[in-house]
Structure 1
Amino acid sequence: MKLLFIGSRLYDDVDYYVREKNIKSILTESNENAINLDLPDEVIIVPRGMEEPKRVAIEKEVDAVVPLIGIDPPLMDVAIMKEELEGEYGIPVIASDVEAVRLTSNKINTKDFFQREEINTPDYQVIESPEQLELDFPVVLKQGEGQGGKDIRIAKSQDDVEEYFENFNQALCEKFVEGSEISIEVLAYNGEIVPLEPIYKGETTLEGTHPLNKIKTGPLDIEGLDKKIIQETAYKVAKGLNSDGIFEMDFMYSKDGEVFVIEVNTRPNGTRYLTTGTCNINSLHELINMAIGQFSRENIEEKMDIYYATEIPIGNYNGEKPHVPLKSFEHDDFIVHGPEGYQRITIRAKSKEKLDELVKKLTV
């Protein structure tokens, strides 16, 4: 089996699994100084864009293509490549299609999709001037495109809205929901949809604290909330998108007990380590299973196991050396991830007591 991977930044997450499966790995990367270039069997430096990866896939006669792309801008190009490689050459590309990317890469399109599919989402409106705002404060102001909290502001007054419009001529305005932030990964391939374990990402704040700066935990345990509601709603969203790959969805559980879907991404996400730690399913490994014909709900359920896990921002980790493979929970302990200065540690154990012991030991 021969697979083409696109992008090296996330490749160390899958390298040991690729070797375990005896897969020949070819990787294309546009940055000759990128990390992880020493890991695949073959590396080909290419210009930005998907034309050269497409050519490599055809010339190397790969069995499938697995894009490892964790940012939004290239996703539409990947989707177009998927249509061409699958339609003209019969080479599977394990990624979302054009329509799914169109609906999820722009937050306004996503809101329209939620309305059409009758999926509960906070009240919102799109405005082109501050005077058009009709929602009560506080509101969340967003741009249609962007990720990682970029261009998002919580407005507490009309003055805040007017200040926001000094830099933008349009805004998606969403009612601020006070409550718990939740994330869930959903895997989908050939019509089979598998929601994984929901993750708790902390409480909302009027200061707009970014999730990367919060302590996150799994499995989800919020008084009054049945996690099945999150999983069933996530399944409905994925079914409506009717595409392949990873879907990462953000939910809110309000103080008055209402569940809202906030947004959807069609790419690997920042909570994947905590998801893996919590339920023993690595979403990037499942992309490979899709590529080699080993993905199914039954296979996932056989591997699934529930642990207690937490993810803590630590800046720079200076503790004991992680076990090899570095991105594996093989020893049921911890993974360190993220760039220097912004590192996080994800820790797991089979009991809350053991987890507390590991947290104290590793984060002193």
Structure 2
Amino acid sequence: MKLLFIGSRLYDDIDWYVKRKNIESILTESNENAINLDLPDQVFIVPRGMDGPKQVAVMQNVDAIVPLIGIDPPLIDVAHMKEEIEQEHGIPVIAANVRAVELTSNKIKTKKFYDEIGVVTPEYQILDSPDDLTLEFPVVLKQGEGQGGKDIKIAKSMDDVEEYFKNFNQALCEQFIEGSEISIEVLGFNGEFVALPPIYKGETTLEGTHPLSKVKTGPCMVQGLDNNLVQHTAYKVAKNLDSDGIFEMDFMYSPEKDQLYAIEVNTRPNGTRYLTTATCGVNSLCELVNMAIGEFSPANISDKLEYHYSTEIPVGDYNGPCPNEPVKSFDDNDFVVHGPEGYQRLTARADSKKDLDNLISKLL
């Protein structure tokens, strides 16, 4: 089996699994100084865009293509390449299709999509000027495109709204939900979908604390919230998107209103994937490989499910004990360190809360 991987930044997360499966690995990358270029069997440095990977895939006669892209802008190009190469050459591309990317990469389209399929989302309106605002403060102001908290502002007054419009001509404005932030991964391939256990990402704050600065835990244990509802809702969203790959979804739960709200969905690998793996034993990136080699199914996922207590902590630069090889696998580790220097995070798991606390104290 020969697979083409697009993008090297995330490749070290799955290199161990690719080798375990005896897969011949080919990787394309546009940056000749990128990390992880020493790991695959072959590397091709290509221009930015999808023409280079497409040509390499055909030239090398690969069995499937697995894009490892964790940012939004290239996703639409990947989607167009997927539809073209699958139709013209019959090479499967384990990624979202054009419709799914178009619906999820623009927050305004995502809101309308939620409305169409009957999934509850915070009340919202599109503002062309501050004078259009009818929602009560506080509100959240966003742009249609962007990730990682970019161009998001929590407005507590009209002055805040007017300040936001000094930089933008339009805004998606939604009701601020006070409550718990929840993330969940859904895996989908060939019309089959599996929702993994939800992850707790902390409480909302009027200060707009960045997710990377918060301690996260798994499984999600929020008083009053039924995790089955989160999984059912996430499954419904993925089923209606009807595409392949990883779906990462963000929700808010308001205990005051006892209401789960859908916030956004991304069709790419996400930042909580280590915590999901630690919690349930299913690695979403490895499942992309399984989709490519014909070993993905809901039954196989069910057989793999484990149950652990886990946490993810921002540590800056980690100086504790080293994990075993392979360092990005929970198969032989009870903790994994990930992220760039200065912004590293520690994700650890144990079979009880007490054991998890003891493990964290030893590592930190």
Q: TM-score range by the shorter chain?
A: over 0.9
Provide the alpha-carbon RMSD of the alignment.
0.6
Instruction: Note if 1:201 corresponds to 2:201.
Output: yes
Query: How far apart in 2 are the matches of 1:44 and 1:52?
Result: 9
Query: How far apart in 1 are the matches of 2:72 and 2:43?
Result: 23
2:189 match: 189
The 5 Å alignment of 1:193-272 reads 193-256=193-256, 257-272=258-273
2:344 match: 343
2:118 match: 118
Query: How far apart in 2 are the matches of 1:232 and 1:334?
Result: 29
SS at match of 2:185: strand
Supply the AA of the counterpart residue of 1:105.
S
1:127 match: 127
Query: How far apart in 1 are the matches of 2:13 and 2:98?
Result: 26
The 5 Å alignment of 1:1-364 reads 1-256=1-256, 257-363=258-364
Shift of 1:332: 4.1
Supply the AA of the counterpart residue of 1:243.
S
- 1:240-270 deviation line (CA, Å, top 9, x unaligned): 1010000000000013211000000000000
Query: How far apart in 2 are the matches of 1:307 and 1:26?
Result: 34
Q: Is the 8 A contact 2:314 2:345 kept in 1?
A: yes
Shift of 1:322: 1.5
Q: Is the 8 A contact 1:272 1:283 kept in 2?
A: yes
Q: Is the 8 A contact 2:323 2:333 kept in 1?
A: no
SS at match of 2:121: coil
Which stretch shifts more, 249-258 or 187-196?
A: 249-258
- 1:203-233 deviation line (CA, Å, top 9, x unaligned): 0000000111000000111111110000000
Shift of 1:110: 0.3
Q: Is the 8 A contact 1:332 1:349 kept in 2?
A: no
Supply the AA of the counterpart residue of 1:275.
T
Query: How far apart in 1 are the matches of 2:152 and 2:91?
Result: 39
SS at match of 1:294: coil
Shift of 1:81: 0.3
| % identity of equivalent residues | 71
Query: How far apart in 2 are the matches of 1:60 and 1:330?
Result: 32
Query: How far apart in 2 are the matches of 1:66 and 1:330?
Result: 22
Q: Is the 8 A contact 2:28 2:44 kept in 1?
A: yes
SS at match of 2:119: coil
Supply the AA of the counterpart residue of 1:263.
E
- 1:151-182 deviation line (CA, Å, top 9, x unaligned): 00000000000000000000000100000000
SS at match of 1:339: coil
Query: How far apart in 1 are the matches of 2:333 and 2:199?
Result: 18
Q: Is the 8 A contact 2:5 2:67 kept in 1?
A: yes
Shift of 1:331: 2.9
Over 4 Å off, 4+ runs: none
